[in-house]
Amino acid sequence: MSTTGESEHTSTASGSADITASFLSSIANQPVNIKLHNDFVYTGVLSSIDGYMNVVLQNASEIVNGKTMKTYDEVFLRGNNVIYIGMAA
């Protein structure tokens, strides 16, 4: 799992600085919900992610206002649009 770019850690008070990186590696190949700033939610299997939160999902569905609008075999989401990446239930 590569964490590029933003993952340079200058030392701070936090004892949990690696938790975000380890969460990202723990959800690889798991079903996830990803919410973007346009309020679209994408649900799919996380095939790849980097330190910018750029994401590739497999078998993704696009959910708008709780309704599935489209499905994609494979989709790339640019990290700057991501609000959150959550484990799907």
Partner 1 sequence: MTDEQPVIEPPTAAESMTLPLELIDQCIGKRLRAFLRDQHVIEGTLVGFDDLVNLVLDDVVEVGSPVQSPPTKRMLLSSRTLTMLAPLE
Site residues for partner 1 per CB under 8 A: 6-7, 9-10, 12-21, 23-24, 33, 37, 53, 65-66, 79-80, 82-87, 89
Q: What's the closest the beta carbon of residue 53 comes to partner 1, in angstroms?
A: 6
Chain position carrying tokens 């999902």? 57
What distances in angstroms separate CA 62 from CA 5, 20, 50, 81, one per listed residue? Answer: 28, 25, 21, 14
Sign of CA dihedral 88, 2, 49, 56: negative
Cβ nearer to partner 1, comparing 6 with 74? 6
Q: What's the closest the beta carbon of residue 59 comes to partner 1, in angstroms?
A: 19
